Structure 1
Amino acid sequence: MINVSTLSKLRRLVLRQDVSVREASRRLGISRNTATKWLKDGQMTEPRYPQRVSGPSILDPYKEQLSQWLKADSHRSKRDRRGIKAMFEALRAQGYSGSRGPVYTFAQRWQQEQGNAARGAGFIPLSFELGEAFQFDWSCEYLFIGGLRRRLEVAHTKLAASRAFCLVAYYSQAHEMLFDAHARAFALFGGVPRRGIYDNMKTAVDKVGQGKQRSVNARFEAMTGHYLFEPEFCNRAAGWEKGVVEKNVQDRRKDIWREASERRWGSLGEFNDWLQQACVKAWAEMSHPEWTQLTVADVWQDERVRLMPNPRAFDGYVEQPVRVSATSLIHFQRNRYSVPCEWIHAVVSLRAYADGLLVVGPDGRQVRLARSFERDQTLYDWMHYIALIERKPGGLRNGAPFKTMPEPLQELQRQLLRHSGGDRVMAQVLMGVSLHGLEAVLVAVELALQSGRVSAEHVLNVLSRLQEQRMPEPPVATRLTLNTPPLANLQRYDALRSLPLHEASPESDHA
């Protein structure tokens, strides 16, 4: 058979270079009869051959099954898809006795046909008024933070009219992250649009009904009521309904994320500060797709005055009750956190925020904790165990929480525990933290260590003297005024000494 490229070369050799048909066919490696046949046609036409009709194949009884496997596999993620080799082995288990060649050929042809098929019925271009709506979506990205390659869940919030956008990175897509992303975006935009367009994410929709019926999450509904915007959810598999933010996910990977991936970040907070500045900088550099003479920042200035006022940030926490263990720890998302030992065995309220935890005890006292997104971590605050160590000072010697004390306190502990009863002396020093504060105790401990006298009495004495210097007695407020100010006259006491005892002290008889 001859193809278009060979036919083109044949025509140039014979018709333009006057090469004989015999020589041209020899050079091109084709039959002289085939060359003569195609040269009889005066026009250059693409060679077409009748489709070869093959007989029945040994694969025919299994083609329907193989097509179903390929179709189901196409809806899975690339990581979960089975290879053609695995399908071939599965067919052999069902009785297929042929070679793998027909299986590979059929699978490749099926995949090629699916790739050439129309993927949808098309999309309708959308248009929004200034201040009318924003669109929200999540994306998954990877960066080096704290020396490790971390997976980040990035919240994309984009104004549908001006195309101004805000990106915030988190370690998960939990409710508290969703609330914090809205608060940051509205603060950056300078207001709140009248509508918010979402897909059917689990943090907003508890159940998807028919048509536009949705069972909305109660906390998400509370957030929309706080900011006064109306939520709107897309139809199933209709991502084009929020195509503005869908395109933003792809576009930002070409500029902002490319630049971010070339750097190393110390913490997530540091990266989010840079990310917000990068968003604002991109507004000033990007042309608006509808008004090409204007930048996104220019159109945002016009849209900003049409947004609803931005109230104070929504108190976006997720609350749950937890019980304090006998070791004064609470469990939250595969991590353990210490709380004041006065709450042991009590049920406390745990409020999870995007950047921390707030624990409310049964007495109404609140304690803020740093949140960890690692797993199987135990985070201690040694000050939570001071009241317990007063009753059990022996726990100081190997107590895990006290390994996180400041270095001056650890040095004092090492010196005191060399002597008998040193644990009780150290417990007295730590009790001073509750009375005078950590900073004052650290100063007193450092002075005691410098003097070489490490005892609780010395530390507490230094602490009391420091407190006297820092806290002068306030003057007594009174309405009385003195006509004659008092004088320091010691001669009056000498006069009393010369009087008889019963005259100098009339009440001495009753003493």
Structure 2
Amino acid sequence: MTIIAGERTKLQVAHVKLSYSRAFTLRAYLLQTHEMLFDAHNHAFRVLGGVPRRGIYDNMKTAVDKVGRGKERQVNIRFSAMVSHFLFEAEFCNPASGWEKGQIEKNVQDARHRLWQPLPNVPSLEALNDWLETRCRELWSQTGHGSQPGSIADVWSEEIRHLMAVPRPFDGFVEHAKRVSPTCLVHLERNRYSVPASFANRPVSLRVYPDRIVLVAEGQAICEHRRVFARSHDRLSRTVYDWRHYLAVVQRKPGALRNGAPFAEMPPAFRSLQQHLLKRPGGDREMVEILSLVLQHDEQVVLTAVELALQAGVPTKTHIINLLHRLIDGTPLSTPTIPAPPALTLTTEPQANVERYDALRRAREARHAS
């Protein structure tokens, strides 16, 4: 339990410890799932500086599908793939035999006093994990080894030479087959995520990572979202939109731009431009054509062109496209002042003389009088 963004949050913490040096590392997650387990190994081996040749585990459901007699285990396929990736041997304890991994059991008990009392107060889960990593390294230097001279850090500096090299991180996702809804959404854990409109009513593959989800179709990643969690049933489910996914829809139906939920999350410059354009006849279609520019050009450049047009007080499609091409080509945005040639210099400055209009009025009155 810890406090994240002012809210008490229950966490699942992965503990990894080297048997010889007793160097340890912790990483916190919101759930205890396969993708969290794989991510914990990636970070643990990075922090510990290498991969041990053997790992001892309890019979957690994320690793073992079925516990047999004695040491017989039906190991999860994805867990086996991770073990093969890092090239170490996985062993599992007997059920209800905590003494077989006594070091890690003691580490869990010690961590309650060293790290979780008082409760950390952090702005995000990422900040908590950064703090845990730093604090664990500090404890290595501050804690004596016990059976070897020096601190845990001293003995770890000896052990690291015997660890296997850390390969590239294991791509530890969990994959689900999904069908995109007619409203271009897929469901995961009571939440919904948008998908490009061209994939509506089509099957896609949803790859779940600890902090994000990736949607794959036809062998290509088509979009990515930050993963959101709705852990309690009293919280409403969330819909995560990417307004770019719905551009193909509003190109056919520009009126959907006015009240479409996905477009409520556009950048402020686009929202301000929309308020100007929707006051004009045909403003819906003009706004859609401007938004569609992000499909061919860098979105940040398009945003800059829109901001410049708003600052100049000319929020029109023609002016924005002109500014966009100037930004892309590197052409100066302001027109330089061209000095007039000497031959065109005025010798006599014209003077305003409104009395001439009075003469015209008198001549007109004279004609009417005659």
Given the alignment of the two structures, is residue 186 of structure 1 paired with residue 45 of structure 2, yes or no?
yes
2:281 alignment partner, SS class: coil
Report the counterpart of residue 422 of structure 1 in structure 2.
283
Give the drift of 1:465: 2.1
> Aligned match of 2:248 in 367, 377, 387?
387
2:10 alignment partner, SS class: strand
**Alpha-carbon spacing, 1:173–1:363, altered in 2? closer, same or farther (3 Å):** closer
Report the counterpart of residue 362 of structure 2 in structure 1.
none
2:177 alignment partner, SS class: strand
> Aligned match of 1:277 in 114, 134, 145?
134
| Structure 1 stretch displaced more, 226-235 or 453-462 | 453-462
The superposition leaves residues 240-280 of structure 1 with CA deviations (integer Å, 9 ceiling, x where unpaired) of: 11110001011011112225x1x421111111011101000
Give the drift of 1:470: 6.6
* TM-score normalised by structure 2 residue count: 0.86
Work out the CA distance in 2 between the residues paired with 1:228 and 1:247: 27
The superposition leaves residues 383-404 of structure 1 with CA deviations (integer Å, 9 ceiling, x where unpaired) of: 1111221111111000001000
Letter in 2 for 1:445: V
Give the drift of 1:330: 0.8
Counterpart mapping for 1:224-243 below 5 A: 224-243=83-102
Question: What is the root-mean-square deviation in Å for CA atoms of aligned residues?
Answer: 1.4
Contact 2:21/2:152, CA 8 A, preserved across alignment: yes
1:257 alignment partner, SS class: coil
Report the counterpart of residue 289 of structure 1 in structure 2.
146
> Aligned match of 1:218 in 66, 74, 77?
77
Contact 1:343/1:362, CA 8 A, preserved across alignment: no
Work out the CA distance in 2 between the residues paired with 1:440 and 1:222: 43
Work out the CA distance in 2 between the residues paired with 1:374 and 1:439: 32
Report the counterpart of residue 338 of structure 1 in structure 2.
194
1:169 alignment partner, SS class: strand
Given the alignment of the two structures, is residue 396 of structure 1 paired with residue 249 of structure 2, yes or no?
no
Work out the CA distance in 2 between the residues paired with 1:230 and 1:382: 46
Work out the CA distance in 2 between the residues paired with 1:267 and 1:279: 18
Between structure 1 and structure 2, the one with the greater Rg is: 1
Report the counterpart of residue 15 of structure 2 in structure 1.
156
Contact 2:173/2:207, CA 8 A, preserved across alignment: yes
Work out the CA distance in 1 between the residues paired with 2:23 and 2:72: 30
Given the alignment of the two structures, is residue 437 of structure 1 paired with residue 293 of structure 2, yes or no?
no
Work out the CA distance in 2 between the residues paired with 1:289 and 1:204: 32
Work out the CA distance in 2 between the residues paired with 1:366 and 1:389: 19
Contact 2:214/2:221, CA 8 A, preserved across alignment: no
Report the counterpart of residue 58 of structure 2 in structure 1.
199
Letter in 2 for 1:407: P
Contact 2:189/2:230, CA 8 A, preserved across alignment: no
Contact 1:444/1:459, CA 8 A, preserved across alignment: yes
Work out the CA distance in 2 between the residues paired with 1:407 and 1:395: 19
The superposition leaves residues 22-58 of structure 1 with CA deviations (integer Å, 9 ceiling, x where unpaired) of: xxxxxxxxxxxxxxxxxxxxxxxxxxxxxxxxxxxxx
Give the drift of 1:326: 1.1
The higher relative CO (CA closer than 8 Å, separation ≥ 6) is in: 2
Give the drift of 1:447: 1.4
Instruction: Identify unmatched segments of 5+ residues in structure 1.
Output: 1-141, 472-511
Work out the CA distance in 1 between the residues paired with 2:295 and 2:267: 16
Report the counterpart of residue 185 of structure 2 in structure 1.
329
Report the counterpart of residue 405 of structure 1 in structure 2.
266
Given the alignment of the two structures, is residue 378 of structure 1 paired with residue 267 of structure 2, yes or no?
no
Letter in 1 for 2:316: S
Counterpart mapping for 1:292-307 below 5 A: 293-307=149-163
Letter in 1 for 2:258: R
Counterpart mapping for 1:99-114 below 5 A: none
1:310 alignment partner, SS class: coil
**Alpha-carbon spacing, 1:219–1:365, altered in 2? closer, same or farther (3 Å):** closer
**Alpha-carbon spacing, 1:419–1:180, altered in 2? closer, same or farther (3 Å):** same
**Alpha-carbon spacing, 1:365–1:288, altered in 2? closer, same or farther (3 Å):** closer
The superposition leaves residues 353-411 of structure 1 with CA deviations (integer Å, 9 ceiling, x where unpaired) of: 11211111236243221111225111111111112211111110000010000111001
Report the counterpart of residue 353 of structure 1 in structure 2.
209
Report the counterpart of residue 254 of structure 1 in structure 2.
113
Report the counterpart of residue 172 of structure 2 in structure 1.
316
| Structure 1 stretch displaced more, 437-446 or 152-161 | 437-446
2:288 alignment partner, SS class: helix
Work out the CA distance in 1 between the residues paired with 2:276 and 2:217: 36
Q: Which runs of 4+ in 1 moved over 4 A?
A: none
**Alpha-carbon spacing, 1:324–1:160, altered in 2? closer, same or farther (3 Å):** same
Work out the CA distance in 2 between the residues paired with 1:221 and 1:466: 52
Contact 1:166/1:276, CA 8 A, preserved across alignment: yes
Instruction: Identify unmatched segments of 5+ residues in structure 2.
Output: 232-236, 333-370
Contact 1:347/1:362, CA 8 A, preserved across alignment: no
Contact 1:346/1:362, CA 8 A, preserved across alignment: no
Report the counterpart of residue 31 of structure 2 in structure 1.
172
Q: How many residues align?
A: 327
Work out the CA distance in 2 between the residues paired with 1:363 and 1:277: 39
Percent pairwise identity: 52
* TM-score normalised by structure 1 residue count: 0.62
Report the counterpart of residue 113 of structure 1 in structure 2.
none
1:436 alignment partner, SS class: coil
Letter in 2 for 1:467: I
Letter in 1 for 2:122: W
| Structure 1 stretch displaced more, 434-443 or 217-226 | 434-443
Work out the CA distance in 2 between the residues paired with 1:386 and 1:264: 41
